[in-house]
Amino acid sequence: MSSLQPVRGTHDILPDEMRRHRRVVETARAVAERYGYLEVATPIFEFSDVFQRTLGDTSDIVTKEMYSFADRGGEQLTLRPEGTAGVARALISGGLMQHLPLKYFYHGPMFRYERPQKGRMRQFHQTGVELLGVAQPQADLDVIAVGAGILRALGVLDRTVLELNTLGDGDSRQSYRRVLVDYLRAHQARLSKDSVERLERNPLRVLDSKDESDQKIVADAPVYSDYLNEASRSFFDAVRAGLDAVGIRYEINPRLVRGLDYYCHTCFEFTAAELGAQKTVMAGGRYDGLVETMGGPPTPGVGWASGIERVAMMLDDGVAAARPVAVIPIGDAAATPALKLTEALRRAGVAVDLGFSGNVKKRMARADKIGAVAAVILGDDELAKGVATLRDLRSGAQEQVPLTSLQDRLAALGR
């Protein structure tokens, strides 16, 4: 017995789980396309600078969680920890600015060195959307609406809460930053070491701290919304009015923030209490300064990312595989006709299982094991008559069906 195991924080996605995984991706892709988001894929690894520029030198992702390595040519590369930076890099390096606005959908694996737990792995998978080139609040509404549409199509929207907040514009952010720093410095002796370091470089990150002592201090911190200017309030009012107009419910969470300076205005999360500590199933916001941070021209943007594993955990148990048809030859003479019949049915779109060996009893046992909807039996008598014996494995009913009409009869059985 081999002692080889999956790397800690990774796992194999086997067929039962893969069906749920695939349902999330396919539903997200279909709904996103309905909203005008076109699918793209960026490389799984990028130059490390792509993420160091965008995520900030003080972020936990950069300082503790990135999988970075030097390749054989000496280039410093990083497995992507999130998808937005790669899309923004593609916008710049691909010369796509002239095509703005752009609406993109993506999905794929991401990598972070975190402590594995339910709903949080070191290799995990996300879907995401990005809307680039639209500064108006209608873009924020569009991005939230497509996210809600995906969760609705998956049947889980009513079990989530949309938490909403605003970070305002740059002036509002600076006003809030000053009062927050003053407040936190008054409590600096009780802050965690990480938060003391962030206080100097990126104080808004203290609001994201998971340290219990930090959280008690943050609970009484000044509230961001008290320091918004009129333009920022008007922007947020427009987003809220749009959500009200299309019937998307939300709750204001004044402590919901994004620590990086290029975030502004709307930030939001869809959360599901049933998932426990890792309850965020979709999170996003507006990042008007991101592309400029990466060396491109000022470009507004807004988007979200959603954990496929977390959403898949919420799906009902009804994500079942399509039930196949089992073709069962009896005797050597039926082997080749059964092979031809199997191929013809598959080309016609029917899922068919043709066992590789075994007597009739073993083949019928396999048909039951794989959940076949019906068995198509071919023996000497059937071949002589140009028919197949069709057994409905749900009811046990059995009939002889001409081979020329077998496909139609199977379609009538359903799945």
Q: Which domain holds residue 275?
A: 15-169+229-314
Whether residue 180 lies inside any domain: the answer is no
288 in the same domain as 349: no
**Largest Cα span, the chain:** 93
- CA-to-CA dists, residue 212 to 186, 217, 222, angstroms: 18, 9, 18
The residue among 160 and 4 whose pLDDT is bigger is: 160
CATH of the domain at 354: 3.40.50.800
Name the domain boundary from 314, 345, 367.
Answer: 314
- For residues 361-381, give the mean pLDDT: 92
pLDDT band with cut points at 50, 70 and 90 for residue 1? very low
Contact 163/269 with Cβ under 8 angstroms? yes
- The order of strands in the sheet holding 67-70 is 45-47, 76-79, 67-70
End-to-end CA distance of the chain: 39
331 in the same domain as 290: no
Cβ count near 169 (within 10 Å): 16
Whether residue 135 lies inside any domain: the answer is yes
- CA-to-CA dists, residue 360 to 324, 339, 357, 379, angstroms: 18, 16, 9, 10
375 in the same domain as 264: no
C-alpha–C-alpha distance, residues 324 and 321, integer Å: 9
Surface-to-core class of residue 139, CB atoms within 10 Å of its CB (0-12 exposed, 13-18 middle, 19+ buried): buried
pLDDT band with cut points at 50, 70 and 90 for residue 402? very high
Host H or E run for residue 184: helix 170-186
Buried b (16+ CB within 10 A) or exposed e, 174-187: ebbbeebeebbeeb
Whether residue 196 lies inside any domain: the answer is no
- Look at residue 176 and tell me whether its pLDDT is greater than 50: yes
C-alpha–C-alpha distance, residues 412 and 409, integer Å: 5
CATH of the domain at 237: 3.30.930.10
Q: Rg of the chain over CA atoms, in angstroms?
A: 28
248 in the same domain as 103: yes
Name the domain boundary from 314, 340, 367.
Answer: 314
336 in the same domain as 310: no
85-139 pLDDT, tens digit per residue, is 999 999 999 999 999 999 999 999 999 998 777 767 899 999 999 999 999 999 9
Whether residue 124 lies inside any domain: the answer is yes
Chain centre to alpha carbon of residue 79: 17
C-alpha–C-alpha distance, residues 151 and 85, integer Å: 24
195-231 pLDDT, tens digit per residue, is 888 887 778 888 877 788 888 898 888 988 889 999 9
Host H or E run for residue 85: helix 84-93
310 in the same domain as 329: no
375 in the same domain as 267: no
Name the domain boundary from 314, 340, 360.
Answer: 314
330 in the same domain as 310: no
Total domains present in the chain: 2
- CA-to-CA dists, residue 9 to 123, 307, 312, angstroms: 7, 15, 18
pLDDT at 412 (0 to 100)? 83
329-370 pLDDT, tens digit per residue, is 999 999 999 999 999 999 999 999 998 888 889 999 999 998
389 in the same domain as 287: no
pLDDT at 248 (0 to 100)? 98
Residue type, 372: A
pLDDT at 317 (0 to 100)? 67
223-253 pLDDT, tens digit per residue, is 888 899 999 999 999 999 999 999 999 999 9
pLDDT band with cut points at 50, 70 and 90 for residue 413? confident
Q: How are beta strands 38-39 and 102-111 bridged, if at all?
A: parallel
Whether residue 23 lies inside any domain: the answer is yes
274 in the same domain as 335: no
Chain centre to alpha carbon of residue 60: 21
Whether residue 319 lies inside any domain: the answer is no
31-83 pLDDT, tens digit per residue, is 999 999 999 999 999 999 998 877 765 455 666 788 999 999 999 999 999 99
C-alpha–C-alpha distance, residues 56 and 187, integer Å: 25
246 in the same domain as 137: yes
C-alpha–C-alpha distance, residues 297 and 172, integer Å: 22
From 88, 59, 92, 83, select the one nearest 260 (Cα to Cα). 59
pLDDT at 57 (0 to 100)? 54
pLDDT at 212 (0 to 100)? 85
Whether residue 270 lies inside any domain: the answer is yes
Residue 157 DSSP SS3? helix
The residue among 240 and 173 whose pLDDT is bigger is: 240
Host H or E run for residue 15: helix 15-34
Whether residue 194 lies inside any domain: the answer is no
Residue type, 3: S
119 in the same domain as 42: yes
Sign, Cα dihedral of 115, 118, 124, 128: negative
| Percentage, residues of the chain above pLDDT 70 | 95
